[in-house]
Amino acid sequence: MSVQAAEVFASIGLHSSSEPVPVYDMVHGWGDDVRRGRYAWADGRVQSGFLAQGWMVAWERRWHYDFRFGAETAEFYGRLEQGDNRPGDYRLQLQATALQMRGVRAGYEFEWQRFRVQPVVSLYRVDQYQAGRLQGFADSAALESASVLLDYHFDDDKLLGWPTAPEDGHGVSADLNLAYNGLRWQFEVQLQDLWNRFELPAAAFTRGCINLGFSANPVCLEDNAAAGNSGYADYHTHLQYSGQLRAVYTDLGVQLTAFWHDRYQRISAQKNWRTRIGELGLSAHSTAQLGLHWSSNWHQLALVTDQADWQQARHLQVQLALRYPW
């Protein structure tokens, strides 16, 4: 086992992908450019920490958003946001998990010949959360007639504005990084949130049936427009894991990468050149993205997007890391 140099580091990173609308619109309200889609996902992190003798310890602030839905759900919501009340029939399906959290990460890197293995464990305090499922139908005049079943857990009620007194949640997540450094080839596997669990004590919740208008396909039969129950109960959830596989041919500075997170999948190719100011790179991706990369002994910078105007980007990745060895 070799002795590694120590360093302090700080980083900011965002990886996001949204099929129906640009990532900016997903947060700030849907605009006119709505397409059929089945997911919207984003993971943002701010970290600072140190590496020493194989150990990595860092403080982290993290934002994680994961929305999965049917294509008809995206079309319906897009019309709803635009005030388009043309008749239509829509099957509504939505599963959402949104967590804002902070915590500490710690990992140790084991080396054996040309192989490296690094398990990492993160302990989080969950400050804000939204988690729930919705399924049902909207039909006829879509803005006036719908029937849905709702199972919604939250610290802040975004639907009905019910006042809450939430408690902070907590969670744990485990990552696993594997690598092989050959004479000409390098291979890396990164598995984030490979195992995780988040406990939300006394979480506010709303469960029930909502009927608007006279739905031709009611999923529940109730005399009232809404029926169900609200209250507080312990709740737990988990995140879908993310995976990345990278192969690098060092003689040519060429690398191929596959990334996946549930419905979001991307294949990438990158070419790097060594220059006086560090290593510069260009990348192309199956999600119609182009990337610029610049790294040196003290920093790493990457910008990958499918639009020159970042507010119109549906697939966006930004990474800035600074490190100081000693």
Judged against a pLDDT cut of 80, whether residue 270 lies above it is answered with yes
Judged against a pLDDT cut of 60, whether residue 140 lies above it is answered with no
Q: Place 157 in a pLDDT band, splitting at 50, 70 and 90.
A: confident
- Percent of the chain at pLDDT exceeding 90: 67
> Can you tell me the distance from the alpha carbon of 136 to that of 286, in angstroms, rounded to the nearest whole number?
33
> Which carries the bigger pLDDT value, residue 163 or residue 318?
318
pLDDT of residue 159: 73
Counting every residue, how long is the chain? 326
Burial 89-124 (b: 16+ CB within 10 A, else e): ebebbbebbbbbbebebebebebeeeebebebebeb
Q: Place 35 in a pLDDT band, splitting at 50, 70 and 90.
A: confident
* Residue the block writes with tokens 């293995």: 117
Indicate the average pLDDT of the chain: 89
311 φ, ψ to 5°?
A: -70, -15
Pair 198, 99: CB distance under 8 Å: yes
Give the tens place of pLDDT for each residue, 40-66.
999 999 999 999 999 999 999 999 999
Judged against a pLDDT cut of 60, whether residue 34 lies above it is answered with yes
Distance of CA 130 to the CA centre of its chain: 14
Pair 155, 204: CB distance under 8 Å: yes
Distance of CA 5 to the CA centre of its chain: 32
pLDDT of residue 51: 95
Q: Place 306 in a pLDDT band, splitting at 50, 70 and 90.
A: very high
Give the tens place of pLDDT for each residue, 196-215.
999 999 999 988 887 776 66
pLDDT of residue 32: 75
CA-CA-CA-CA torsion sign (247, 301, 128, 29): negative
Judged against a pLDDT cut of 50, whether residue 2 lies above it is answered with no
CA-CA-CA-CA torsion sign (306, 308, 314, 317): positive
Judged against a pLDDT cut of 90, whether residue 315 lies above it is answered with yes
> Which carries the bigger pLDDT value, residue 101 or residue 76?
101
